[in-house]
Chain A
Amino acid sequence: MTAITSAGPALLETRQVRKLFPIERGLRRRVHGHVRAVDGVDLVVPRATTVGLVGESGSGKSTLGRLVLRLIEPTSGQVCFEGNDITTLHGRELRELRRNFQIVFQDPYSSFDATATMLDSLREPMRAHLELDAAQQTARAAELLEIVGMSPEYLTRYPYELSGGQLQRAGVARALTVDPKLLILDEPVSSLDVSTQAQVINLFAQLQDRLHVAMLFIAHDLSIVRHVSERIAVMYLGRIVEDGPAAAVYDQPKHPYTEALLSAIPVPNPVRQRERRRIILEGDIPSPANPPAGCRFHTRCPYVLDVCRAEDPPPFLTPDGTTVFCHLHTSGPQLEGASIGDLRTGDRSAQ
Chain B
Amino acid sequence: MGTLIARRLLALVPLLVLVSFFVFILIALVPGDASVTLAGGENATPERIAEVREELHLDESIFQQYGRWLGGAVQGDLGDSLFARTAVTSDIAERLPITLGLAGAALFVGLLVGVPLGVLSAMRPAGAIDKLSRFGTTLGISIPGYWLAIILVVLFAVDLRLLPPSGYVPFFENPLRWLEHIALPAIALGTWSAASLSRQLRAALIDVLDTNYVRSAWAKGGSTRLIVVKHALKNAAIPVVTILALQTGYLIGSTVIVEEIFTIPGMGPYFLRAVVSFDVPVIQGVVLIFVLAALILSTLADITYGFLNPKVRVS
Contacts and interface: CB of A to CB of B under 8 A. Distances in A.
Indicate whether A and B are direct neighbours in the complex (CB within 8 Å).
yes
Interface of A: 26-27
Interface stretch (B2-10, B177-185, B266-274): B2-10
Contacts of B6: 27
Nearest to B2: A27
Contacts of B3: 26-27
Contacts of A26: 3
A26 B10 CA distance: 12
A27 B5 CA distance: 9
A26 B7 CA distance: 9
Contacts of A27: 3, 6-7, 10
Interface in B7-28: 7, 10
Nearest to A26: B3
Interface residues of B, number: 4
Interface of B: 3, 6-7, 10
Nearest to B10: A27
Nearest to A29: B7
A27 B13 CA distance: 14
B236 to A, nearest CB: 27
A27 B1 CA distance: 11
A25 to B, nearest CB: 8
A176 B50 CA distance: 77
Contacts of B7: 27
A20 B7 CA distance: 25
5 contacts: A26-B3, A27-B3, A27-B6, A27-B7, A27-B10
A interface secondary structure, majority: loop
Nearest to B7: A27
A65 B110 CA distance: 53
Contacts of B10: 27
A42 B47 CA distance: 83
B233 to A, nearest CB: 31
A225 B62 CA distance: 68
A27 B3 CA distance: 6
B10 to A, nearest CB: 7
A27 B6 CA distance: 7
A315 B148 CA distance: 80
A283 B10 CA distance: 41
A239 B158 CA distance: 81
A208 B295 CA distance: 61
B5 to A, nearest CB: 10
A249 to B, nearest CB: 37
A26 B3 CA distance: 6
A29 to B, nearest CB: 8
A27 B4 CA distance: 8
A27 to B, nearest CB: 5
Q: Which 5 A-B pairs have the closest CB atoms?
A: A27-B6, A27-B3, A27-B7, A26-B3, A27-B10
A35 to B, nearest CB: 15
A27 B10 CA distance: 9
A26 B315 CA distance: 11
Nearest to B6: A27
B302 to A, nearest CB: 15
A27 B7 CA distance: 6
B217 to A, nearest CB: 26
A26 B6 CA distance: 10
A106 B7 CA distance: 38
A128 B7 CA distance: 45
B4 to A, nearest CB: 9
B214 to A, nearest CB: 25
A26 B2 CA distance: 10
Nearest to B3: A27
A230 B10 CA distance: 56
A249 B3 CA distance: 49
A239 B6 CA distance: 39
Nearest to B4: A27
A339 B6 CA distance: 56
A27 B2 CA distance: 9
A32 to B, nearest CB: 12
A9 B7 CA distance: 52
A234 B10 CA distance: 46
A79 B3 CA distance: 40
A23 to B, nearest CB: 11
B6 to A, nearest CB: 5
A52 B6 CA distance: 48
A227 B3 CA distance: 51
